[in-house]
Each structure stands twice: as C-alpha cells, then as structure tokens.
Amino acid sequence: MDNTTDGAIAQPETSAWSPLAAVDRRVHELLLRQERQERTTLKLIASENFASSAVLEATGSIFTNKYAEGYPGARYYAGNEIVDELENLAIERLKTLFGSEHANVQPYSGSPANQAVYRALLSPGDKVMGLPLPEGGHLTHGWAINFSGTDYKRVPYGLHEKTQQIDYDRLRETAKREQPRLIWVGGTAYPRIFDYALMAEIALETNSYLVADIAHISGLIVAGAHPNPVCHCDVVTSTSHKSIRGPRGGFILSRNEDRYQALYHPKSKYNLARRIDRAVFPQLQGGPHMNVVAALAVALQEAATPAFRSYGHQIVKNAKALAQALLERGYDLVTGGTDNHMLILDLRDRPLSGKAYAERLANAGIITNFNMVPGDPRDPAVASGIRLGSPAVTSMGMREGEMLQIADFIDLVCRQPNDPDVHTSVRRDVADFCAAFGVPGITDI
C-alpha cells in the first residue's frame, strides 16, 4: 500500500522529459508514487531520513561506472586516480568529524561493517557481549539467528528491570565472569545515552575490545547532541544513511594500533587499522561502490556545517517533545522517555499487537515500524511496541510544536484502531499538514 489513493492529495509535477520514463515507464511510475508518498506522509521510522539533492546527485553519478577494487594507491584496476582522490577526501572528512585515527568508507552497509570487525578482531567461537535484540540491540551483536550468534559464543547483557536501561553493574559482573573478547555498545531500539566511559573501564578490566555501533546516532554525535565514543572505543561502526543523512552505505572508524596485539594477535604483522581494511577487502567485499563513497563525502561536507549542528540538536528536542506529548496522552514508553532521536511505544496493555497498530498508522499516513519491547510476551513477528523517530520530520523543518500535532494524529488512530473512517480522515489531515513543509531531495530540486 502506498497511502496515496486519496484524491485530495496533490500529485507531483512530472518533468517534460525524463530519461527514466523514456526507458522504463513502470519504474518511473513507481518512483513518482514513492515521491508522492514521501511528500504526503509522516516518516517516523527512526532509521530513515531524507538525503539532500546534492547527496542524491552524487549517488546517481557516473562514479557508479568505476571499478576501484583495492584502496587508494593500491588498486587492481587502472584509471583510478580521480576516485583515489575521492575516497581519500571521504576518509579525511570522516576522521576530522569524529576525531578518529583511521577510517574505512568501503563497507556496503552497517551489517557488513560489523562483520568486518568480527573478522579483524576475533576467531570463530570467541565470546561476544551485546545487548539482545528484544531489549534494543542489533542482530549483529550476537543474536542467535545471525552469523554473530552462530559463529561466536554470545554472552548477552541486559536492562535493569525497573528502569529498562542498561544495568552496568550486572554487565560488569558478567564481563568479569565470562571474559569476552569483544563487547558491543550500541543498539537499534535503545532510547538513552550510552555510558561509553564506563563501558571502556569494563572492557579494560576484562581485556576486551570495545566496539560502538553508532548507526542510529552518528549524526547526533557529529552535531554534539550525543557523546562521541571514538576516544573510548577500539572500533566504531556506522551506517551512513540515518541521522547523518547520507547514502545507503557504511563506514568503520578505529585506532591505528591494537592495544591487545601482543595478547590476541601476536603472530599478525598488521596493526588494527590494517586488519580492519583487510577484513573489508579482500576478505568480505570486492569493489567498493564509488558512487556511494562520493555521496558520503558530500553528506560529510554537509554535516560539518553549523546548520547541521542545529539540526542534530533539534532532532533530540523533537523526540523529547513527542515523547512528552504521548506520555501526557496516556501512553507508556520504554525507559519512560528518550535522550536521543527515538522512542518506543509500549503497547502491551493495548488490545492489538504492535504490528497491527503500525499497519493502521500507515493507513493514516503515519509511517512507523513495530518493534519488540523488553519482556515482550508476543512473537517478534508481531511484537508489542512501535518505534518512532524524529530525524526525517526534523529534516522537513518541523519543530516541537509540530510534535504535539503528530502526537494527536497517533492518538486518534490508536484510540480507534478499527475505524477506517477515522484513518481516512487522519490521512487527509496528515497530507495537508505535510504540505506546509519541504522535503529534502524532492522539493529542493
């Protein structure tokens, strides 16, 4: 369903001539429908955003055509002088923004970046600590059905029963007992700030590598709206398409030298940075997507501006405003609120599943994703929660006042989940509401 069937919703202008339309009208039609959907709905998925026209231009550029297997100055194809400059530019911008000694911009996405970390630091069967998926962690942090939970011995750490936040005391006890080789800090549905300094202490006490997954919060870190883990961690991984507003890709930051080289890798002739690079290529990937690297460089240039810093702080303000508005309307939130860009509605006491509410919200033009909550009694395929995020609507220019209206829209649908007339009415109102705001990459062309 594309949520664009209502006749009152404005149709986009179609250019007089389009190369895509001339070659493939079907794909062109789908593109226009997606554009129409994004212009007329509230994108509240925490992992989605709007890339700028500049980022989209680079993504669709002729850098798509170039094979650049290898690294700058050491390629396996000729004619890479220009893309060498391009990749080095993206690397230097990343290192400057995050204060990192080393950066790799070639991972195809966040999960491949995390897989490269395993290859570089561990051997199969080594112990890995991470936050479990139902409590806000990521599949690649040691979840049973993922490679990280089958190739490595998983040692989960959990949340405090009352606060629903990471129980650092219990985490320390578990780490001392289990002596993991690697500890992940990060998640996909954890709405609070991570204590990187304390995690670094625990990792040092247990001779563990500390790796931060900042896929969701990289833009907040660059903006100074969330602590930077780089100075505390051995390695940091991220996607490039969430709060940092780049293309669909990933990157890895790391120290140059390995503090555990003598202990865990005594026979290796490569330092930490080199092992990371070798894990990405040639162990896991072939040629990098140079169009994505180009778009990442553009996004990093945008992220270095004062406007982006203001944007990152506004993301947090909006998430807090939306959380407070929903609390005032009688909804329960995991951890009781948020410190970052996301909040998790806990709907265990409601008559329908998280999936059912997400479907009804989508029918009303409010795009979310259903999500597990700590102690969720339902199957993960339906779950009992909904994850909401503020990055995309903040990119549209919305502020705290608009979050109150969004809370009203959500409340209208969730209070009457089985009334399609209400959903249709909200859908019209959402489209009218969105019409007052621009959409990066669509209306700024």
The predicted pLDDT at position 140 comes to 96
What tokens appear for 57 in the block? 């231009």
Residue 139 CB contacts under 8 Å (≥ 6 apart), including other chains? 111, 133, 145, 146, 148
Same domain for 240 and 119, yes or no, is yes
Does residue 331 lie in a domain region? yes
| Count of C-beta atoms within a 10 Å radius of residue 162 | 7
Averaged pLDDT for residues 89-112: 98
Percent of the chain with pLDDT over 90: 95
Output the average pLDDT for the chain.
Answer: 95
Same domain for 321 and 293, yes or no, is no
Yes or no: say if 275 and 120 are a contact pair by the CB < 8 Å rule.
yes
Q: Which positions make up the binding site?
A: 133, 137-139
Yes or no: say if 291 and 63 are a contact pair by the CB < 8 Å rule.
yes
Q: Is the pLDDT of residue 8 over 60?
A: no
Does residue 441 lie in a domain region? no
Does residue 2 lie in a domain region? no
**Last residue of some domain: 276, 303, 330?**
303
Q: What is the CATH number of the domain that holds 370?
A: 3.90.1150.10
What tokens appear for 389 in the block? 């995020």
Q: How sure is the predictor about 445, in pLDDT bands with cuts at 50, 70 and 90?
A: low
Does residue 113 lie in a domain region? yes
Same domain for 289 and 333, yes or no, is no
**Last residue of some domain: 248, 277, 303?**
303
Averaged pLDDT for residues 56-61: 98
Same domain for 343 and 426, yes or no, is yes
Same domain for 104 and 243, yes or no, is yes
Number of domains into which the chain is organized: 2
Q: Which positions make up the binding site for (6S)-5,6,7,8-tetrahydrofolate?
A: 133, 137-139
| Residue 239 or residue 4, greater confidence | 239
Same domain for 268 and 362, yes or no, is no
Same domain for 251 and 142, yes or no, is yes
The predicted pLDDT at position 13 comes to 47
Does residue 57 lie in a domain region? no
Q: What span, in angstroms and rounded, lies between the C-alpha atoms of 50 and 21? A: 23
The predicted pLDDT at position 444 comes to 79
Domain interval for residue 386: 307-434
Same domain for 375 and 295, yes or no, is no
The predicted pLDDT at position 35 comes to 96
Cβ neighbourhood burial of 273 (10 Å; 0-12, 13-18, 19+): buried
| Residue 5 or residue 128, greater confidence | 128
Q: Is the pLDDT of residue 12 over 90?
A: no
Yes or no: say if 105 and 293 are a contact pair by the CB < 8 Å rule.
yes
Q: What span, in angstroms and rounded, lies between the C-alpha atoms of 314 and 319? A: 8
The predicted pLDDT at position 3 comes to 52
Same domain for 295 and 370, yes or no, is no
Averaged pLDDT for residues 168-180: 98
Q: What is the CATH number of the domain that holds 145?
A: 3.40.640.10
Q: How sure is the predictor about 311, in pLDDT bands with cuts at 50, 70 and 90?
A: very high
Nearest alpha carbon to residue 318 among 403, 412, 204, 238: 403
Same domain for 182 and 85, yes or no, is yes
Does residue 192 lie in a domain region? yes
User: Which residues participate in catalysis according to the annotation?
Assistant: 67, 69, 213, 239, 242, 248
What tokens appear for 381 in the block? 């395929």
Does residue 70 lie in a domain region? yes
Averaged pLDDT for residues 90-97: 98
Q: Is the pLDDT of residue 1 over 90?
A: no
Same domain for 297 and 327, yes or no, is no
Same domain for 284 and 411, yes or no, is no
Furthest CA-CA distance within the chain: 68
The predicted pLDDT at position 401 comes to 98
**Last residue of some domain: 268, 303, 338?**
303
Does residue 178 lie in a domain region? yes
pLDDT digits (tens, 9 = 90+) for 155-164: 999 999 999 9
pLDDT digits (tens, 9 = 90+) for 270-296: 999 999 999 999 999 999 999 999 999
